[in-house]
């Protein structure tokens, strides 16, 4: 983490206006978007700079969040003067204590937290308890409901626990018994709402008067199932939510409106006062609003909002018209994103990709963009190279190698204009677990999901350009070697016929080398183990040490290779090694290693005998760790997508399917329902013209042969694994 000492080493950056940073794990939900937009708007009104870091949740197992966690180390007085943090969502997995370990590294900066309070740090929270009390009291007093079904949020989440406890207290005050059979566990996601209504309706739970959902998203899951069964929930099954997300208005859902936008503005006002040296309240509590619509059993034609003073007023806003307009506008935006994504993917050269970005991004309202690559992805916090920079006025001229600068500085000195106010969003660029770099987007477009779509497209394009560049360098080196060898042969041979024969022989070797390179290029870097006749280690390379989970200085010679093999694979590996030693042949095998930290790693390996003076002295195994390879391997989807037309989301599903992920895993990675994933897969089969998975992979294999002219060994392995 950056510290006060590190700031002194850099020296405070000379800024004409103060810069406020926001640490937030994600954008796209009403909670995140409301806070982001409220803070952004307030800072714009007050002429303060805004710098947002998308960090992912702390200590998440998801690769998409782990790679974003690097931004926790970017924060310093060099790039921000004050900080607003959303610890409740960032620390959703790790908990408050672990979150404090992060926050205390920034206590030298003026700081405000949202949703969770910490000692000596001003905090802004929303009174969830009061909102739930209003809601349950309305259902009891105005409707007379007595039997309540409740869909909970995940246990341990502060908001979820507060809402459930408030629900129980109100029932107790009205002497209404709580039936444990009507309490359904949820997790704030739409799928848990679907599961809850199935349990309540299909599993013969006791009768209930009303369903109270701890948030709107789970309530939407209930509505989706009821509509799929041709049931109109309004008038049949009273239902309420909590949060008042946009679609809840369209569904006429009675709920509690969380003032997320106002919370963001309050955070801006508080941090502004702290920067001015003023004293502020340590705890600011904001009240929600009870929004009464038709779903609870109130059948007025217009929705009613109970304000903070609990006085109803009518809202004449045409909600459905606004939402329909927003959806149409979003569809147009998504079409633009698709065109840009395809242009980026089609541009295999880095310079071409940067030209596409400079041409297209301003059309989306992104009038500033700065892209940097890590000099050493294994040590990303050291140095980075700025490869593209443009602002409202111009594109900065940058040489091929880029402009080098300390990573945590975010930009080289002199790039960011100090005369104009800026609003920037920092997004991590990564593919799988591999860090690539980061991008600073100028914030202009209100559809915040756009930035994640563009981040993903940039990551894929930059990774592809990197691989293409590596292949070009290899080919150029190979050509240089051939030229050098040809010159030597010309000088060494005096007879023209011998020279022609030798040239043909070299050309044939070049062709064979090129074909061989196509097969093995994707295997680099390779795990290498050398074993003696008793299958003891005699040599291990760095990748091998990493696979075994031990340090390179730890002596492994004389240890038995079989001791690291998964017990279910020991027999296969023994037969595999015996066959190589006895028959003196090369073999391929897949097996699992259990490393020092008890982690299972699947290896695809090629093995051949080691000969010394004509005698077999051992075995050499060359292999790859399958999981990271599957997450970064270049599949033939680029050419495949040119032939078949898929939407961006269907493409994401197809790529994950090719990488071997199951339906549930794809749904989790893309934050969509499993039924939606299955629908996308059916759409893929329909577009290709097949009925099942087996025929689909036959078509894909034929496509590989037709366009590349050979059967790739790697592709064959992947196809086999995916089918199994």
pLDDT in tens, 167-179: 999 999 999 999 9
Strands 283-286 and 123-126, sheet pairing:
parallel
Which range, of 51-55, 116-120, 232-236, 494-498, averages the lowest pLDDT?
494-498
Cα 300 from Cα 311, distance rounded (Å): 16
- Asked if 535 and 563 touch (Cβ cutoff 8 Å), the reply is no
Chain Cα centroid distance, residue 637: 20
pLDDT in tens, 194-206: 999 999 888 867 8
Cα 55 from Cα 46, distance rounded (Å): 25
- Tokens encoding 335: 């079409």
Which pLDDT belongs to residue 308? 43
Cα 131 from Cα 257, distance rounded (Å): 8
**Which secondary structure element, helix H or strand E, spans residue 240, and what is its range?**
strand 239-240
Helix (H/G/I), strand (E/B), else coil: 435:
strand
Helix (H/G/I), strand (E/B), else coil: 138:
helix
Which pLDDT belongs to residue 151? 96
Q: Could you give the residue ranges of the DSSP H alpha helices within 584-723?
A: 626-632, 637-643, 648-658, 663-670, 674-688, 693-708, 713-723
Query: Which of the two residues, 469 and 39, has the higher pLDDT score?
Result: 39
- Cα–Cα distances in Å, from 92 out to 24, 26, 59, 154, 551? 12, 12, 9, 10, 33
Cα 344 from Cα 462, distance rounded (Å): 9
Q: Give the chain's end-to-end CA distance (angstroms, integer).
A: 44
- DSSP letter string over 53-86? EE---TT-S-HHHHTGGGGGGT-STTT-SEEEE-
Cα 416 from Cα 413, distance rounded (Å): 7
Which pLDDT belongs to residue 303? 45
pLDDT in tens, 280-316: 999 999 999 999 999 998 864 444 444 444 444 334 3
Secondary structure of 355-377 as H, E, C letters? HHHHHHHHHHCCCCEEEEEECCC
Q: In terms of Cα–Cα distance, which of 543, 540, 566 is closest to 555?
A: 540
Residues 6 or more apart whose CB falls under 8 angstroms from that of 237 comprise: 210, 211, 226, 231
Helix (H/G/I), strand (E/B), else coil: 111:
strand
Strands 403-406 and 434-442, sheet pairing:
unpaired
- Please give the backbone phi and psi of residue 48, each rounded to the nearest 5 degrees, phi first: -110, 145
Cα 602 from Cα 546, distance rounded (Å): 13
pTM: 0.60
- Please give the backbone phi and psi of residue 172, each rounded to the nearest 5 degrees, phi first: -65, -40
Helix (H/G/I), strand (E/B), else coil: 157:
coil
Which pLDDT belongs to residue 9? 32
> Environment class of residue 492 by beta-carbon count within 10 Å: exposed (0-12), middle (13-18) or buried (19+)?
exposed
pLDDT in tens, 1-56: 444 433 333 333 456 789 999 999 988 777 888 999 999 999 999 999 999 999 99
pLDDT band at residue 471 using 50, 70 and 90 as cut-offs = low
User: Structural domains in the chain?
Assistant: 4-123+366-456 (3.40.50.2300), 126-263+280-317 (3.40.50.2300), 525-629 (3.30.450.20), 633-723 (1.10.10.10)
pLDDT band at residue 69 using 50, 70 and 90 as cut-offs = very high
Which pLDDT belongs to residue 518? 35
Which pLDDT belongs to residue 241? 95
Which pLDDT belongs to residue 12? 37
Helices 648-658/713-723 angle, 10° precision: 100
Cα 321 from Cα 330, distance rounded (Å): 14
Give the chain's mean pLDDT.
Answer: 80
Asked if pLDDT for residue 348 goes beyond 80, the answer is no
């Amino acid at each position: 983490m950056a510290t006060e000492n590190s700031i002194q080493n850099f020296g405070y950056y000379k800024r004409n206006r103060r810069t406020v940073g926001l640490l937030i794990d994600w954008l796209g939900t009403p909670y995140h978007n409301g806070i982001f937009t409220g803070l952004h708007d307030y800072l714009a009104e007050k002429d303060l700079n805004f710098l947002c870091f998308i960090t992912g949740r702390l200590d998440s197992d998801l690769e998409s969040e782990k790679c974003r966690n690097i931004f926790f180390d970017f924060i310093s007085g060099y790039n921000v003067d004050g900080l607003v943090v959303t610890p409740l969502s960032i620390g959703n997995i790790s908990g408050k204590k672990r979150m404090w370990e992060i926050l205390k590294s920034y206590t030298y900066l003026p700081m405000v937290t949202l949703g969770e309070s910490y000692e000596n740090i001003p905090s802004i929270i929303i009174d969830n308890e009061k909102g739930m009390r209003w809601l349950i009291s309305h259902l009891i007093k105005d409707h007379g409901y007595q039997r309540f079904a409740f869909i909970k949020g995940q246990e341990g989440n502060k908001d979820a626990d507060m809402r459930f406890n408030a629900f129980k207290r109100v029932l107790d005050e009205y002497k209404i018994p709580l039936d444990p059979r009507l309490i359904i566990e949820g997790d704030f996601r739409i799928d848990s709402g679907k599961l809850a209504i199935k349990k309540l309706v299909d599993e013969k739970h006791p009768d209930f008067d009303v369903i109270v959902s701890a948030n709107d998203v789970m309530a939407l899951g209930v509505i989706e199932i009821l509509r799929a069964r041709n049931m109109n929930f309004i008038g049949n099954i009273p239902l309420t939510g909590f949060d008042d997300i946009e679609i809840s208005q369209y569904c006429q859902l009675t709920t509690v409106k969380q003032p997320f936008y106002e919370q963001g503005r309050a955070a801006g006002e508080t941090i502004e006062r702290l920067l001015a040296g003023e004293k502020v309240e340590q705890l600011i509590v904001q009240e929600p609003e009870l929004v009464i619509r038709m779903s609870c059993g109130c059948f007025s034609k217009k929705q009613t909002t109970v304000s903070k003073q609990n006085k109803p007023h009518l809202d004449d806003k045409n909600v459905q018209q606004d939402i329909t307009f927003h959806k149409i506008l979003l569809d147009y935006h998504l079409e633009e994103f698709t065109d840009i994504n395809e242009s980026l993917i089609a541009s295999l050269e880095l310079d071409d990709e940067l030209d596409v970005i400079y041409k297209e991004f301003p059309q989306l309202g992104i009038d500033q963009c700065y892209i940097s690559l890590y000099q050493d992805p294994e040590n990303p916090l050291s140095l980075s190279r700025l490869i593209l920079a443009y602002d409202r006025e111009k594109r900065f001229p940058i040489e091929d190698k880029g402009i080098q600068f300390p990573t945590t500085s975010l930009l080289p000195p002199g790039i960011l204009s100090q005369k104009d106010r800026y609003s920037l969003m920092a997004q991590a660029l990564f593919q799988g677990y591999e860090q690539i770099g980061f991008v600073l987007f100028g914030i202009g477009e209100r559809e915040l999901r756009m930035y994640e779509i563009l981040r993903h497209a940039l990551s894929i394009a930059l990774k592809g350009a990197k691989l293409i560049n590596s292949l070009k360098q290899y080919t150029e080196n190979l050509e240089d070697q051939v030229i050098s060898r040809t010159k030597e042969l010309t000088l060494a041979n005096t007879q023209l016929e011998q020279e022609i024969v030798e040239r043909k022989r070299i050309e044939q070797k070049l062709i064979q080398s090129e074909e061989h390179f196509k097969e093995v290029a994707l295997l680099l870097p390779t795990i290498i183990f050398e074993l003696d006749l008793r299958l003891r280690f005699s040599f291990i390379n760095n990748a091998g040490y990493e696979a075994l989970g031990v340090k390179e200085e730890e002596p492994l010679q004389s240890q038995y290779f079989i001791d690291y093999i998964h017990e279910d694979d020991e027999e296969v590996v023994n037969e595999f090694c015996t066959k190589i030693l006895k028959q003196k042949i090369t073999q391929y095998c897949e097996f699992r290693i259990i490393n020092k930290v008890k982690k299972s790693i699947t290896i695809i390996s090629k093995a051949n005998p080691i000969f010394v003076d004509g005698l077999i002295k051992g075995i050499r195994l060359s292999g790859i760790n399958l999981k990271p390879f599957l997450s970064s391997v270049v599949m033939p989807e680029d050419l495949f997508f040119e032939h078949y037309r898929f939407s961006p989301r269907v493409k994401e599903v197809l790529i994950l399917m090719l990488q071997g992920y199951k339906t549930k895993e794809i749904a989790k990675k893309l934050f969509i329902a499993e039924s939606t994933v299955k629908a996308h897969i059916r759409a893929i089969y329909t577009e290709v013209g097949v009925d099942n998975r087996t025929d689909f992979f036959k078509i894909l294999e034929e496509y590989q042969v037709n366009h590349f002219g050979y059967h790739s060994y790697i592709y064959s392995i992947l196809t086999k694994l995916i089918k199994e």
